Each structure stands twice: as structure tokens, then as C-alpha cells.
């Protein structure tokens, strides 16, 4: 089919490229000429596995780039809106970009067209899109509006798109549903997976083709917000449990193993750490909370999820203070700046927020991240020394802080690391190492929700998580 994707951010670029890999003819629309020029040259603006390969495969053939939205809408059977919906000061989603797209395409449809909201938007957005298009002169029978929420994780977005758990389409009639069924048919009928050039199946991907779930548009809009809110709740829940584990001397990893094997709960997202971040969870929780308030419901559970997440960073900072006593003048090595491993995205990154707090307290920071350093340099001041690898960052440092769960950070040469650090102290905000192993390697090791491994560098009776006598 002929598909237009409006917006070349994470969602738009990944979706458009994957639609091309499914065999559709795609035009990617953006009003940023410099970004379009870079894409035409084959440059990939985000760090995303498999995306460079797919763009190289389809650029100039199945996918092209344009700034002419009206022409693209006129030539397309489906238009996917994937523009930004940033939060306002009150937490509501800013839908001005969505409205602008709706106005511009209203007079450009020569044949029946399906307008698909792909951006994360609050309930009733599809209804408003239809209203805007009608107000600007389109015939009611010339188009339908659908909701097709994305469930993409940064770092694995291409695999998530091509090997989804499910595909949700919110429609109001069968004609519209049939268009979306046709678009996703290579996934739902399994034909894509039989191709020799298909992107490799991830380890956790379902073995069978994904189910396409057809709902009303309003239900689909709520599914996206409710999904992200529930996942954020799991993260905040396990972080709250980790706090209790630290207080009573239990091991949160053992607790997670015990509850995660319950088929009703499952092990995923039960990973204690320094909290969630990124472009989705913080924004979507605020937007969902705003929607609830507009409906007259005080969704206090979301307030607590957000509070626990913010508190988790403060707890980790107190842990660092407890281990080092004073922070001013200390040299700290930081591993990880992205909000999660596998991406260069630093939006709402707890690692960035912690580094900024450390700088305010007078620390000197040397940092390394495999992908996010160019973006981090734009927001962190010159007090941060960006290094070539984890060992350069650790050289001469008073302690090493692990803030992002990059796979390479879990397989460091511990003997080499111990020699490079001024003091053999590791404070792990992602629980990448086993405390007993770290103690055997001569480290004082602190993690989240697990007993500390002490090697004699701290006075007896001192609790690093409290910063004082036990």
C-alpha cells in the first residue's frame, strides 16, 4: 500500500522504515529540511539496532523523504501521524502538532484515506482529528480516523515493531479496519517471518504471528496509556520493595525471583534500580493522570508511582553520600548516561539527573556511555570529563557509579578495574553484579535492595544507605 508517515522522530522513523520492510511504499514527512537531507544521505539520527540496515536497504526505493505533506496525503491510502505530543505545564499532552497535520491534510484527499494516529495521545483525540478535518472542508465519506498505538521500546524498537506481542487498531467501521488489516498482513499471516532477509527473531518474541486486536478508537487510545502506566507501576513497586529489603537486610533479587515466577505476575519489569526515564513513561503518566482528572477521577495510584520513581533517585544519591561521607572534591566515575541501555536517548534520564546533582554538590565526574555522550554533552556542563571507555573513566576515581544497564558494563574486567580506581568502591544502580563476586574481587560493593559487600574500607556499623550508624 501507499503510506505516508508524518514525523521522523523515534516512532515515525522506525514505523516508516518497518512499513517499507513489510513491502509498502512509504513517504516520510518532516518539516525539518536538515533532518530530511541527512536521511537522504543515509545518516541515521538515532541509535537503534537494525535501523541503519533497513534504511540502507529501502532508501530511495520503498522509502523516500519529503516536506510536502499535502502531496503525500493526496498520493497515500493511509496517513500515519507520528508527531510529537510533549507535555504542557499542567501535564496534558500538547496536541497542537497533531491538529496542524489534520488541518493540512483535510483538503488533500482525492480518494478514500485512513488517517491513523500513531503518536501517544489522550482519549478523544481521534474524534477531534475527525472534527478538524471536517471543519476544513473534507467530505465525511472521504476518510476515516483510526488509532494504532505503538508499543516500541527504545533500543529494540525495530524488533518490537516487526515481532510485536499484539497489534492494536482502534476503528469505528469495518472499512477502516480492513485497510489496517491489509497493512499489517505480512506480520499477522506470518509471511514476513518466512522471508530470508527478515530481521532476526528476538529471544523473547512470540513464536506465532501476532494477534491483531480490533477495538474502538477510544479503547485503543486508553490501551496505550494504561499499558505504560501499568509497566511504570511495576517498576515503582519493585523499587519500593527494594527499599524495604535494604531496611530488613533481605535480597530484592531473591524476592523478585520468588514473585516473578508467579505466572500471574511474571518477571519482566521487576528490575530494581534508580527509576524509569525516557520520553514515554514520565510523559504518558502525566497525560493519563490529566485525562483521569478531566473525567473527575483522582487517580492517586499514578501520583504514588511518580513519587516513588522520583524518590528512588534521591535514595541512590543518599547511598553515594553514605559511602563517601562527603562529596565535595570527590572524583566519581559514572558509567551510563542514557535512560536505558541500547539507546542514545537522555530525555528524563535518571543518570543525567544524578550527574547534575553530583556536580551541584561539588563532585568531579568522569563519564562514559557507548552511545549517549554526544547528546549528554549538550546538557551537562564542562565539569564532566567524557572518556573513551569505562576504564578511562575509572582511572583515579574515588568510586565507580553504574547508572545505565548497558550489557558491556556487566562484563567489565574487574581485576583491571580495581587497579585503576583510587578506592575499590562500586555503587551499582542497576544491580549488574553479584555482591559475593564483587567482594571476592576485593570491592566494596553497594547495589539496590541487596546487602552491601564490604571489604573493610568502611567503619563497622556504618550503613551506606542511611549515611550513619546502623
Catalytic residues: 280
CA 304, 309, 314, 316 torsion: positive or negative? positive
How many angstroms separate the CA atoms of 424 and 251, rounded? Answer: 22
Is the distance from CB of 205 to CB of 411 less than 8 angstroms?
A: no
CA 215, 10, 47, 232 torsion: positive or negative? negative
Number of helices (H) and strands (E) in the chain: give both, helices first. Answer: 17, 16
Closest CA to 248 of 16, 10, 470, 11: 470
**Per 3-state DSSP, what percentage of the chain is helix, strand, and coil (rounded to 5)?**
45, 15, 40
What separation in angstroms does the CA of 452 have from each of 66, 447, 458? 55, 7, 11
Is the distance from CB of 126 to CB of 173 less than 8 angstroms?
A: no
Do the strands 63-66 and 25-29 form a parallel or antiparallel pair, or are they unpaired? parallel
**Cell digits of residue 45:** 539520527
How many angstroms separate the CA atoms of 330 and 321, rounded? Answer: 11
Q: What is the DSSP letter of 139?
A: -
Q: Which residue has 487510545 as its cell numbers?
A: 221
425-428, strands of its sheet edge to edge: 384-386, 364-368, 331-335, 399-402, 425-428, 444-446
How many angstroms separate the CA atoms of 95 and 81, rounded? Answer: 11
Is the distance from CB of 121 to CB of 148 less than 8 angstroms?
A: no
Helix (H) or strand (E) holding 224: helix 217-248
Amino acid at each position: 500500500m501507499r503510506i505516508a508517515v508524518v514525523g521522523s522522530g523515534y516512532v515515525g522513523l522506525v514505523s516508516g522504515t518497518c512499513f517499507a520492510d513489510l513491502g509498502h511504499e512509504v513517504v516520510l514527512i518532516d518539516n525539518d529540511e536538515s533532518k530530511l537531507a541527512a536521511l537522504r544521505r543515509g545518516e541515521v539520527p538515532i541509535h537503534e539496532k537494525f535501523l541503519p540496515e533497513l534504511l540502507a536497504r529501502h532508501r530511495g526505493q520503498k522509502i523516500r523523504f519529503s516536506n510536502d505533506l499535502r502531496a503525500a496525503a493526496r498520493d497515500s491510502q493511509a496517513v500515519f501521524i507520528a508527531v510529537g505530543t510533549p507535555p504542557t505545564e499542567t501535564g496534558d499532552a500538547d496536541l497542537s502538532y497533531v491538529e496542524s497535520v489534520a488541518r493540512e491534510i483535510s483538503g488533500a484527499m482525492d480518494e478514500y484515506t485512513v488517517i491513523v494516529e500513531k503518536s501517544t495521545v489522550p482519549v478523544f483525540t481521534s474524534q477531534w482529528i475527525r472534527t478538524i478535518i471536517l471543519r476544513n472542508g473534507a467530505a465525511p465519506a472521504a476518510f476515516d480516523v483510526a488509532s494504532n498505538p505503538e508499543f516500541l521500546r527504545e533500543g529494540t524498537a525495530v524488533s518490537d515493531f516487526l515481532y510485536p506481542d499484539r497489534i492494536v487498531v482502534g476503528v469505528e467501521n469495518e472499512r477502516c479496519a480492513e485497510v489496517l488489516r491489509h497493512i499489517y498482513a505480512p506480520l499477522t499471516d506470518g509471511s514476513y517471518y518466512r522471508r530470508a532477509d527478515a530481521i532476526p527473531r528476538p529471544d523473547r518474541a512470540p513464536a506465532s504471528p501476532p494477534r491483531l486486536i480490533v477495538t474502538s478508537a477510544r479503547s485503543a487510545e486508553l490501551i496505550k496509556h494504561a499499558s505504560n502506566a501499568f509497566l511504570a507501576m511495576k517498576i515503582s513497586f519493585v523499587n519500593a520493595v527494594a527499599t524495604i529489603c535494604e531496611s530488613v537486610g533481605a535480597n530484592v533479587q531473591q524476592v523478585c525471583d520468588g514473585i516473578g515466577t508467579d505466572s500471574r505476575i511474571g518477571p519482566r519489569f521487576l528490575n530494581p534500580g534508580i527509576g524509569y526515564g525516557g520520553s514515554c513513561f514520565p510523559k504518558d503518566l502525566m497525560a493519563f493522570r490529566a485525562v483521569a482528572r478531566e473525567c473527575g477521577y483522582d487517580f492517586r495510584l499514578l501520583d504514588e508511582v511518580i513519587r516513588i520513581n522520583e524518590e528512588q533517585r534521591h535514595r541512590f544519591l543518599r547511598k553515594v553520600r553514605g559511602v563517601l561521607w562527603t562529596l565535595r572534591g570527590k572524583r566519581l566515575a559514572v558509567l551510563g548516561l542514557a535512560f536505558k541501555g541500547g539507546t542514545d536517548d537522555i530525555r528524563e534520564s535518571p543518570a543525567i539527573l544524578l550527574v547534575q546533582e553530583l556536580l551541584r554538590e561539588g563532585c568531579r565526574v568522569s563519564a562514559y556511555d557507548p552511545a549517549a555522550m554526544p547528546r549528554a554533552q549538550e546538557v551537562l556542563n564542562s565539569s564532566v570529563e567524557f572518556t573513551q571507555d569505562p576504564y578511562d573513566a575509572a582511572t583515579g576515581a574515588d568510586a565507580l557509579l553504574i547508572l545505565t544497564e548497558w550489557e558491556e558494563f556487566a562484563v567489565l574486567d574487574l581485576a583491571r578495574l580495581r587497579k585503576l580506581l583510587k578506592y575499590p568502591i562500586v555503587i551499582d544502580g542497576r544491580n549488574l553484579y553479584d555482591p559475593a563476586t564483587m567482594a571476592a574481587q576485593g570491592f566494596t560493593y553497594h547495589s539496590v535492595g541487596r546487602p552491601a559487600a564490604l571489604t573493610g574500607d568502611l567503619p563497622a556499623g556504618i550503613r551506606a544507605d542511611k549515611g550513619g550508624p546502623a
